[in-house]
Every structure is written in C-alpha cells, then in structure tokens.
Amino acid sequence: MLVIVQKLLEISMRLDKSDRKFLRILGKLLGAFPVRCSKWLEKRLFQGTWDPVRKYRRRIRRRKRFRSDHNKDQKG
C-alpha cells in the first residue's frame, strides 16, 4: 500500500508543474489521497493499533522454521 501512496504522490507532483489548469487540479486531487493516507497511518502507528514490524518478523520466523526443518531432513 505504501508503494501505491508513494507513486500517487510522485504523479501528483509531476502534474502540479503542468501548464494546463485541468492537469494541475487533477494533480492536487491525486495528491490529497496520499496525504490523508499518511496521516491515517501515522495516527494508527502512534496509537499503537498498528505494528508494521510484526508482519515482517512473522515472515522471517516462518522462513527460519522452514529452513531449519529442511536442514534436519537432510542430516537425518
């Protein structure tokens, strides 16, 4: 999701530099979503209701568990 927000913000910044008024307005509308989304994620992070590291740690634990099981099978 964060990649999508980043791309939308980049597109919005490019459109803001356009000579056409319609494209500048479109750029501002596209830029509103990433700003709101980042504020919402920041709020969740500081309230403690969202921990982005937990998902990353689970993924690493699963990999380690799988590799250790695989190594046991090869040794025995």
* Statement: the pTM of the whole predicted model exceeds 0.75: no
Q: Is the pLDDT of residue 40 over 80?
A: yes
Rounded Cα gap, residues 10 and 47, in angstroms: 28
pLDDT tens digit sequence for 12-38: 888 888 888 888 888 888 888 888 888
SS3 content of the chain, % helix, strand, coil (to 5): 85, 0, 15
Distances (CA, A) of 64 to 5, 18, 23, 56, 75: 31, 50, 49, 13, 17
26 neighbors 14 (Cβ within 8 angstroms): no
Q: 53: Cβ–Cβ under 8 A, 6 or more apart, which residues?
A: none
